[in-house]
Structure 1
Amino acid sequence: MKIAITGANGFVGSNLVKHFLSAGYEVKAIIRANAATTFIPSSAQIVRVDYDDVTSLLTAFTGVDIIIHNAGKTKANNAEQMFKANLGITEKIIAASNRIAESQQIIYLSSQAASRPSINNIPVKEDELGAPITIYGKSKLAAEEVIKQKCKKYYTIIRPCSVYGCGDKDFLQLFKIVDRGFSFQIGHKDKLLNMIYVSELCRFIELCVNNPSAYSQTFFATDGQVYKQSDIFSAIAKALNKHPITITVPESLAKIVFYAGDLYGHLFHKEVVVNKEKMKEILADAWLADISKAQNILGWQPIANLENNIKDTAKCYRALGWL
């Protein structure tokens, strides 16, 4: 079976390529013309495309059974860039796939951000109305709607929560902070969230591949556990053998830092992690998703092991020279 994975050079994409190659699939690693191939295994077929050109995508997807659409942006300088990356590329991929005569399944990696934060710590279900609080979340929800309305092939939408693991550069920033001897908490409330290790996410996606029960469905993907922000820092500290000083940052001060980061990004035209959009996510009381649908329909049985997974992630960062 042939699988095409868009955004195959990134954190999640490269891990997906490795996972499906090891599972015996023939993999097309779809990347931009100028993208690096550092993390893509040599046994994958690398295909460079222009995501703005339907003909380029049509050529890449011909003869493919499954398209795992992972390409997009999690941060951008403005809303136009975000929607172009997440909605625009999705529209082109759907248009290309619709022109292929053979049967295909499109698995779209959306985000928990397309939904909404939890209210009173009650996990959100997939059939609840999406109410994203960030531009990123709105762009992912818009892409979901395009798939539902225009896709003529089988489709499955997956909303992962926070994904961590080898190759991720967002969680790397937390590791660097702890490595310097600090951890922090914004506000006095230890907020709740879901997590999923990247290899677990790959396993979740494989459950949807060529699975009629997954067609026309939307699923949240988490490891089934609820974590406090302090749990994450504690696991990182243990992995790095550190005893960090915890600094509680008042929300008012945190907002100033996020606004400053946003200003820096706009002034220097850089995509920064610390910005007003990220502030909205972090200051939300909780990000909890209900995975009972995936458990019932897909037979999803998550294996949660935060401490070991964080330890392996730290080893990877060190091996890469990132820590």
Structure 2
Amino acid sequence: MTDKKLLITGANGFVGSHLAEMALDNGFEVYAAVRKTSDLTNLEGLNIQLVYPDYRNVNSVTALLDQYGITHIAHVAGLTKAKSAEDYTNANATVTVTLARASLAAKRPVEKFVFVSSMAVMGPTTSGKSLSEEAAPQPVTLYGKSKWQAEQYLQQYPELPLITLRPTAVYGPRDKDMQIIINMVRKGWELYLGRAAQQLSFIYVKDLCRAVLLALDSQVTRQTFILSDGENYNRYDFAQQVKKDLNRRTLRLHIPVSIVSGALGILEKIMPSRTSILNKDKLKELIGSWACSIQKAKTELGYQPQYPLEKGVGETIAWNQARNWSK
């Protein structure tokens, strides 16, 4: 048994399941916070304890922390697709406050609380400029605003041993959003919104998880860090790497933003309950630039990314092909 007991929220998800694996390898006893209805496929075979927090009740979460003697929390869970601002707020901000209050109320206050926020908090920058922690957050989507609201809530608890991480676009095995691009390229297509120049950034899931573990063990507290693989790419680089790894040729199409926006507007009127990674709200992020600097994370956390796009995409595709996941 170890005295490092880590609660991971959203542990069955894309990032959470990778973190659970890596945390076990790094000496943590892992408690996977999931729902009774959660798909646990990603956690199969892992030596973890499943727990079921009631995020509506601070006392209930506090009791759970006391019951298992939780020493560290990695708050990874988050809602990326929702029907309303209220849904985003409830899932991404209210739950975060509950965890923070429970962490402070526990008989053994947690040693470190790592909140995985998002670079969506920053809002996109203009081409040629790079985002850093010093820039004022200007989220443009409901998702980004809810994450920023959560960050602001956490600032109301100065005694919380908090580190906030703002990763850029995360990809890797088990991811479904970036997999859409991989499958499209595999079928011979590249689709882009408009023709404006874009700079983009990415982070492979294992690099993100490594940063979370660094944050959990760090003496640093009350700091915020932007995370990427350290490189900034043009809008075609991700697909180009996929094409290279799959040995595919594609037809590249640029669709006017106005046409996509209009079509999404009609679709949302016809199907108001639809949730998707592509909607009019998300469009505000997809047409922006997301170049960033990770110098602060390198200097203060000792973060050194190990997966440039070439390595990360290759590993993702190999994982997918081994499981016939691309078909």
Give the TM interval when normalised to the shorter protein. over 0.9
When residues 265 and 165 of structure 1 are mapped into structure 2, their CA distance, relative to the original with a 3 A threshold, is: farther
Q: Say which is worse superposed, 26-35 or 247-256, in terms of deviation.
A: 247-256
| Contact 2:185/2:242 (<8 A) preserved | yes
Other-structure match for 2:184: 177
2:167 to 160, 163, 172: 160
Cα 1:211–1:234 shift into 2, 3 Å: same
Structure 1 segments unaligned to the other structure (5+ residues): none
The farther-off stretch of 80-89 and 48-57 is: 48-57
Shift of 1:264: 5.5
Residue 24 of structure 1: CA displacement? 2.0
Alignment partner, residue 225 of structure 2? 219
Amino acid at match of 1:228: N
Pick from 277, 286, 291 the counterpart of residue 288 of structure 1: 291
How far did residue 189 of structure 1 move? 2.5
Matches within 5 A, 1:97-136: 97-104=103-110, 105-136=112-143
| 1:1-323 equivalent positions in 2, closer than 5 A | 1-40=4-43, 41-62=45-66, 63-104=69-110, 105-150=112-157, 152-213=159-220, 215-263=221-269, 265-266=271-272, 269-284=273-288, 286-323=289-326
- Moved >6 Å (runs of 4+): none
Report if the CA contact (8 A) 2:11-2:77 is conserved. yes
Report the Cα distance in structure 1 between the residues aligned to 2:75 and 2:152, rounded to whole angstroms.
Answer: 15
In 1, Cα distance between equivalents of 2:297 and 2:268: 36
Q: CA deviation at 1:16?
A: 0.6
The structural deviation recorded for 1:151 is 5.5
Question: Kindly, what percent of the aligned residue pairs are identical?
Answer: 33
Q: Distance in 2 between matches of 1:259 and 1:316?
A: 36
**Structure 2: gaps (5+ residues):** none
Q: How big is each residue's C-alpha offset from its partner over 1:111-145, in whole Å with a ceiling of 9 and x where there is no partner?
A: 00011212352212213221111111110000001
Name the amino acid aligned to 1:136.
Answer: Y
The TM-score, its normalising length taken from structure 1, stands at 0.94
The separation in 2 between residues aligned to 1:261 and 1:16, in whole angstroms, is 36
**CA 1:42–1:301 in structure 2 vs 1: closer, same or farther (change >3 Å)?**
closer
Moved more, 167-176 or 59-68: 59-68
1:240-277 Cα deviation digits (max 9, x unpaired)? 221111111122222224334544552xx232111012
In structure 2, the residue corresponding to 1:5 is in which secondary structure? strand
Distance 1:85 1:189, change over 3 A: same
Give the root-mean-square deviation of aligned CA atoms: 1.6
Q: State the AA in 2 paired with 1:158.
A: L
Give the total of aligned pairs: 319
What amino acid is aligned across from residue 108 of structure 1 in structure 2? F
Assess if the C-alpha contact under 8 Å between 2:172 and 2:316 holds in 1: yes
- Structure 1 residue 183 displacement after superposition: 0.7
Distance 1:152 1:58, change over 3 A: same
In structure 2, distance between residues paired with 1:221 and 1:143:
18
Residue type matched to 2:191 in 1? F
State the distance in 2 between where 1:126 and 1:190 align: 23
Paired residue type of 1:28: Y
How far off is 1:216 after superposition?
0.3
